Amino acid sequence: MLEKESQQIQHLLLIEDNQGKRTLKLEGATYSIGRDSTNSIVLHSKLVSRQHAILLRISIPETASYLFRLIDGNLQGNRSTNGVTVNGQRCFSHDLKHGDAIVFGLDVKVRYYANFNGSVALLAADEAGEISGSLSNSREPFQTVVAPNIKVENSIESALIRLASFPELLSNPIIEITLEGTITYLNPAAIAQFPGLREAQLQHPILAGLLLKVHSSKEKFFVREVEFGEQVFEQSIHYIAESDLIRSYVVDITKRKQIEAALQQAHDELEIRVAQRTAELSKVNEQLRHEIVERQRVEKALRESEERLQAILDNSPALIYVKDIQGRYILVNQWYETLLSITAKEVRGKTDYDLFPKEMAEIYRANDRSVLEAKAALEWEEVIPHARGLHTYLSIKFPLHDAAGFAYAICAIATDITKRKRAEEDIRKALEKEKELSELKSRFVTMASHEFRTPLATILSSTDILERYRYKLTEEKKLDHLQRIQLTVKHMTGLLNDVLLIGKAEAGKLEFQPKHLELVQFCRDLVAEIQLTANNHIIAFCTQAQFTNTYLDEKLLRHILCNLLSNAIKYSPSGGTVHFDLVCQQGKAIFRIRDEGIGIPAADQAQLFNSFHRASNVGTISGTGLGLAIVKKFVDLHGGQIAVESEVGVGTTFTVTFFD
């Protein structure tokens, strides 16, 4: 005979791994064992596999007791890396017995105990070793749990077969009975959900009437609903003829039934509201029918009015059209059709977005909205594209009102003013050109009066001295005056040449004759030539050249560099250094000239390359304001670039870049 079921077996594991010792009480469930944190039992050792083993719960028939089978590997049947050892023997499957010594992955030690001592509590890790001795001496509980005439191994095997179909961890109850009504299997969920099921047997509501239903039915499968207290369960019943067993799957559908009831109530209420709404819609439909009839009458009157108006519009030389307040064209006159090469039928019903580019359509639509908001006629200049290109129209737009005073459309009358606008533009350009020429003339006169007055005064003074005192002057003094006259004439000749050059550049008559130049030698010769006359300054030439031969106009390049170097010397203090760098790399020839002179104010830098413009801080330093304008023209002829960086009192850097 079996002992009293109230005397329950306790299953304990004493675990010793890398985190110390601990005691684990096993509940009535199947466990996964391994290193991964998702396992039911986590072992802390790198020698243990992520999913190392399964501890399978096996129910003992006719009792509430169970035992455990240890299986090496995971749920997919893959064995662990370092295996499982029980009592010193490596094994794949083993039914645990009281006192078994288990080793997982070579270094995690576990001992299994089963006893009836309900007073043994879980212990802390450092206390686990103290109870191993007393537990190992306790009696084997399965010696008394299993009756002499029951074969435990066969029961375990049958439990395993059931496990294949009924997972022990399934959250819904599973019940199995014989055709006589004997309960052969309850999964943990069934035991937890229906704790009195084994005692009540067929009297329990979940089994009541089940055998009669199975015996009277020709089907091997059917579903029924069972009420148990305040809960409602759906019971799927399967008759397994091969084993004469009835297998029942139970699902709690209480919430579902409550939701169904709520849905039914909502459905009934909705039916009532639908009926009410149907009556309301019938009334609305009748009103809508009357409104449609009225609208048709208005549309007919509008069409008749449009036909009368069309005859008038088609004889107008202006561009005339009408749109509704949504921007759809209602009518256009014949002149509109002619200019835009489109028929009135093709235009009707379309918007400006269908006929014109988006940018133009948005402008037209904005103007239409302004008319509707102002409730009055407004005037705009609008650009309209047609077969002869873009034309400018003076458009007068005004709203059209119905009898009630509401705007229903917009009418526009547009007159082509393209010729007038072109004439205005020509006059504006002519005035700007005239103003520019006047300013240029004023600058030239100012420059000429300043730059020519001093040289002419010098020439006049020297000739007067030579004329009055030629007999009293020594030959050396006469020669000095003659040289002054020659230098002054050369200076004036240079000024006139600059004026002629800028004139040629403006007229596009400059000669451009590029040829191959050896830049490094060219620059060295140029520096040596300028240094001869620049006694009070030093020109420091530096070069970094990946290539030295390029294709440039030698004459124009000489003028560019001479002008920039001369300016650097002229606007630098005596004894200063002018830095001249040549960099030839990546297909570019870069000339950089840097001085430490007076600098150029930021306000003047934007106009630096305009003819006759001079910086505001040059003082009495002579100059025409043409040099940099000529340099810019010469650089542009080469397709190059010129840039300036300057700070007043610090100096100026000009950078000229030519592309190979």
Out of 2.60.200.20, 3.20.20.70, 3.40.50.150, 2.40.10.220, which CATH number does the structure's domain 10-153 have? 2.60.200.20
Question: Quick one: CA dihedral 280, 281, 282, 284, positive or negative?
Answer: positive
Q: Does pLDDT of 271 surpass 50?
A: yes
Domain 510-659: homologous superfamily in CATH:
Histidine kinase-like ATPase, C-terminal domain (3.30.565.10)
Token digits for 423?
A: 């004439």
Query: The tokens of 48 are what?
Result: 């243990």
CATH class of 422-504: mainly alpha
Mean of per-residue pLDDT scores for the chain: 81
**How many beta carbons lie within 10 A of that of residue 357, not counting itself?**
10
Cα separation of 117 and 115, whole Å?
6
Give pLDDT tens digits for 602-638.
888 888 877 666 777 777 676 667 778 888 888 888 8
pLDDT at 371 over 60: yes
At residue 142 the predicted structure's pLDDT band, cuts being 50, 70 and 90, is low
If you search the block for the tokens 């089994």, which residue do you land on?
Answer: 207
**pLDDT one-digit tens code per residue, 27-66:** 777 788 999 887 889 999 999 999 999 998 887 766 667 7
Domain ranges, ordered by start, for the chain:
10-153, 170-252, 314-410, 422-504, 510-659
What average pLDDT does range 563-591 have in this prediction?
90
**For residues 144-166, b (16+ Cβ closer than 10 Å) or e, as one string?**
ebbeeeeebeebbeebeebbeeb
Mapped onto helix, strand or coil, the DSSP state of residue 487 is helix
Q: How confident is the model at residue 18 (pLDDT cuts 50, 70, 90)?
A: very high
pLDDT at 166: 44
CATH code given to domain 314-410: 3.30.450.20
**Contact (CB, 8 A) for 254 and 230:** yes
pLDDT band at 641 (very low <50, low <70, confident <90, very high): very high
The tokens for 389 are: 């290109």
Burial class (CB in 10 A: 0-12, 13-18, 19+), 218: exposed
* 548 vs 227, higher pLDDT: 227
Least confident among 425-429, 554-558, 620-624, 651-655:
620-624
As a whole number of angstroms, the distance between CA 620 and CA 379 comes to 57
Write down the pLDDT at residue 391: 85
Domains 170-252 and 314-410 equal at CATH topology level: yes
128 pLDDT more than 50:
no
pLDDT (mean) for 281-295: 90
- The CA angle 284-290-291, to the nearest 5 degrees, is 85
The pLDDT score that the predictor gives to residue 169 is: 57
- pLDDT of 622 reads 66
In 119-252, DSSP assigns E strands to 174-178, 183-186, 221-228, 231-240, 245-252
Fold that domain 170-252 belongs to in CATH: Beta-Lactamase (3.30.450)
Over residues 322-351, the mean pLDDT reads 89
Q: Average of pLDDT values for 133-155?
A: 45
pLDDT of residue 589: 92
Tell which wins on pLDDT, 63 or 202: 202
Of 214-223, 305-314, 419-428, least confident by mean pLDDT is 305-314
Q: Residue 126 pLDDT more than 50?
A: no
pLDDT band at 198 (very low <50, low <70, confident <90, very high): confident
Checking if the pLDDT of 155 tops 50, the result is no
Q: What are phi and psi of 328, to 5 degrees?
A: -85, 135
Mean pLDDT, range 573-596, rounded to an integer: 91
Instruction: Tell me phi and psi for residue 280, to 5 degrees.
Output: -65, -40
Q: Label residue 107 by pLDDT band (50, 70, 90).
A: very high
Please list the residues that pair with 321 across neighbouring strands: 332, 412
CA distance 652 to 597: 7
344-358, 435-449, 508-522: range with highest mean pLDDT: 344-358
Q: What is the pLDDT of residues 468-511, one digit of tens each?
A: 877 778 888 878 878 778 777 776 776 666 666 666 666 666 77
Lowest-confidence segment of 27-41, 86-100, 544-558, 603-617 by average pLDDT: 603-617
Q: What is the DSSP string of 403-454?
A: TTS-EEEEEEEEEE-HHHHHHHHHHHHHHHHHHHHHHHHHHHHHHHHHHHHH
Total-model pTM: 0.35
Pairing mode, strands 183-186 and 93-95: unpaired
Mean pLDDT of 124-143: 48
